Amino acid sequence: MRRRSFIKFLLSTPLGRLISGLLLTGAAAGVLYLDLQKTDVRRSEGALKAILLPYPKLSGLVSVEEALANRRSIRDYTEEPLTLEELSQLLWAAYGVSETRYGLRTAPSAGAQYPLELYALVGTNGVKTDKGYLAPGIYHYDPHSHSITLLKQGDFREDLYYAALEQRWVLTAPVSLIFTAVYSRTVRVYGERGRVRYVPMDLGHAGQNVYLQATALGLGTVAVGAFNDEEVARILGLSERETPLYIMPVGRPVSRYRLSEKELIDYIEKHRRR
């Protein structure tokens, strides 16, 4: 009876709502603190040698407005490789660290639970370095050290192409970024709402980051959601805790979209006259 009266007090009075808000904030902060104190990844990579990526750049030649105007889904790529600097910038934009006290990311996440993991599937001669090319294979991205670790060596683009229902851009792109989710990180705080609402929102934020950064770098990408989940999980070597969500092939576009201010103004004026 007392418990029921206390809950009614929390829900019905301003003071009660303030107390409940403080309790929830404290609980969320506690969860965040615990998360930041431990490594919650699907596999131990301590024995594997990390490849340190070039530091991310915090300024570029393309404005946010230009990137938004010229963002399109690009499916036709040239055979030219990405550079290691470009791969580095894409990974950081997608899910890198942008706040150095708590290690918060470039993409917002419900309760800062960060359920996503990010992989780069690199094809043969897909990423150029100052010493040649990055070894083809599947790499896992660590946002805190801004590094990648080679998990499986080899060119797996054809495997991914068949798993993605033979979408040719998955085969022809030099690199595909692959997002996965560890749903339990968000579900343990928010329950089933975390699975059906918050994790998809997290993915959308991160995916748009890739789109905009690719556009700013003169690259192209497309979000691919049609694929055989079990096959993609097998290619990446995922555990049962991790679910593949997005494949984003990245390459140099055969042709680039350009929107002029005049075109945009003419379009708006046309619709204002209706």
Considering the domain architecture, whether residues 100 and 25 belong to the same structural domain is answered as no
25 and 126: one domain? no
Q: Following DSSP, what letter does each residue of 127-186 receive, concatenated?
A: EEETTEEPPSEEEEEETTTTEEEEEEES--HHHHHHHTTT-HHHHHSSEEEEEEE-THHH
Domain identity same for 72 and 116: yes
Q: Please indicate, yes or no, whether residues 222 and 158 belong to a single structural domain of this protein.
A: yes
Looking at residues 238-242, what average pLDDT do you find? 96
What CA–CA distance (Å, rounded) separates 34 from 27?
11
Is 46's pLDDT higher than 70?
no
Higher pLDDT, 264 or 274: 264
Q: Kindly report which listed range (21-30, 207-216, 235-244, 262-271) carries the lowest average pLDDT score.
A: 21-30
Percent of residues, the chain, with pLDDT higher than 70: 83
User: What's residue 191's pLDDT?
Assistant: 97
pLDDT surpasses 80 at 51: yes
18 and 145 fall within a common domain = no
Helix, strand, coil percentages, rounded to 5, for the chain? 45, 20, 35
Question: Residues 161, 168: contact at Cβ < 8 Å?
Answer: yes
Q: Which residue is listed with tokens 């904030």?
A: 25
Three-class DSSP category at 133? strand
CA 233 → CA 125, 223, 239, distances in Å? Answer: 24, 17, 8
CA distance 238 to 102: 27
Tell me: pLDDT of 16 over 90. no
User: How far is Cα 249 from Cα 177, in angstroms, rounded to an integer?
Assistant: 6
The answer to whether residue 109 sits within a structural domain is: yes
Is 43 contained in some domain? no
Contact of 74 with 170, CB cutoff 8 Å: no
Same domain as 224, residue 180: yes
Q: What gap in Å lies between CA 68 and CA 209, rounded to an integer? A: 11
Any idea what DSSP says for residue 54?
A: P
Mean pLDDT value of segment 81-95: 98
Residue 13 within any structural domain of the chain = yes
The pTM assigned to this predicted structure is: 0.84
CATH number at residue 116: 3.40.109.10
**66 and 154 housed in the same domain:** yes
The H-assigned helical ranges of 142-217 are 157-163, 168-172, 184-190, 192-193, 199-216
Residues 6 or more apart in contact with residue 233 via CB below 8 angstroms: 242, 243, 244
Euclidean distance between CA atoms 86 and 77, whole angstroms: 15
102 and 186 both lie in a single domain? yes
Looking at residue 34, what is its pLDDT? 44
Together in a domain, 13 and 86: no
Residue 187, in any domain of the structure: yes
At 8 the pLDDT is 56
| Domain contains 44 | no
Convert the pLDDT of each residue in 166-175 to its tens digit.
Answer: 999 999 999 9
d(CA 186, CA 249) in angstroms, rounded, equals: 27
In DSSP notation, 32-51 reads HHHHHTS---SS--TTSPEE
Q: Give the SS3 label for residue 130.
A: coil
Domain that holds residue 134: 50-251
- 139 is a domain residue: yes
Tokens of 184: 């339990």
Confirm whether 266 is domain-assigned: no
Q: What is the mean pLDDT of residues 125-133?
A: 97
96 and 164 both lie in a single domain: yes
Q: What is the pLDDT of residue 39?
A: 42
Give the H/E segment covering residue 265.
helix 261-272
Question: Are the C-beta atoms of 119 and 237 separated by less than 8 Å?
Answer: no
Do 124 and 246 belong to one domain?
yes
pLDDT of residue 6: 52
- Kindly report the backbone phi and psi dihedral angles of residue 238, in degrees, each rounded to the nearest multiple of 5, phi listed first: -75, 150
Number of domains in the chain: 2
Residues paired with residue 117 on neighbouring β-strands, in sequence order: 180
Domain assignment present for residue 273? The answer is no
Q: Do 31 and 157 lie in a common domain?
A: no
Instruction: Give the pLDDT confidence score for residue 33 in this predicted structure.
Output: 44
